[in-house]
Amino acid sequence: MSITLYYYKNSFMKKIMNWMFAAILICGSSVMMSSCGDDDDDNGNQLTPNTYEVTLSTVLPESAADFFTLDIEYTDAEGMAHKATLKKGDQSDEMSDKMKTLYEREKNFVIVNMEWEDKPEKCDLFEHLIVKNISFNVPAGKSFSYKVTMKSRTDYTVPSVDIFSVINPFVYLGSKRISGNSQDNSVFTEALGVNAKGSVETEHIAEFLEICDGKVVGKDTRTMY
């Protein structure tokens, strides 16, 4: 009788232990699932594709504006084509900080390369620019393109000096993320290609204008990510 009772008690306790073990497993699973859910709430934000504001900055130095205009063509992210012209007398926009930094660096390089350090009248040509900023939005996965072309003026005035200098037009492309939380792939121009024609002979100005007419200052097609 004592043996049977001991076995009965043992069986009962075994069942109790099994129920408790099962309850622990279920509870543990619940805790783990709850914990995962909390992580999703805290760190599981879904990535949203970016949208960028792209800015095309076209620069026509005033020394070149006496002889040329710039034709600007660009296609936005929706495939719409646009045209604009930059010419002498247009109001100038501001350069971005990144653009200013690049310009100062390249301007100084040209001045040294042309040996104009002691020619303030030549250096001063770099300070007179007409800037036109064109901005448009481009969502990730969309493309845009642009082309900037020089066009010779027919109403120019012949300089009164035998030799004159011209700072060549150039373009700058920049962008910034304005929405989204995916990896930021903003792009910007790393080199402007600032240069000058230091010795243009006035008697050959017609040839000079013909050579430069239709010259592409900048051209690009990009897809944003």
Q: Are 209 and 145 in contact (CB under 8 A)?
A: no
* Residues whose CB falls within 8 Å of the CB of residue 170, separated by 6 or more in sequence, listed in order: 59, 192, 193, 194, 217, 218
Give me 145's structure tokens.
Answer: 């393109």
Instruction: Work out the number of other CB atoms within 10 angstroms of the CB of residue 49.
Output: 14
List the Cα angle 102/106/107 in 5-degree steps. 110
**What is the Cα–Cα distance from 31 to 121, expressed in whole angstroms?**
78
Q: CB atoms < 10 A from the CB of 64, how many?
A: 23
pTM of the full structure: 0.79
Mean pLDDT for all residues in the chain: 87
Both tokens assigned to 207: 């040839």
pLDDT tens-digit series, residues 74-132: 999 999 999 999 999 999 999 999 999 999 999 999 999 999 999 999 999 999 999 99
- pLDDT tens readout for residues 126-155: 999 999 999 999 999 999 999 999 999 999
pLDDT tens figures, 56-70: 999 999 999 999 999
Residues 14-26: what's their mean pLDDT? Answer: 48
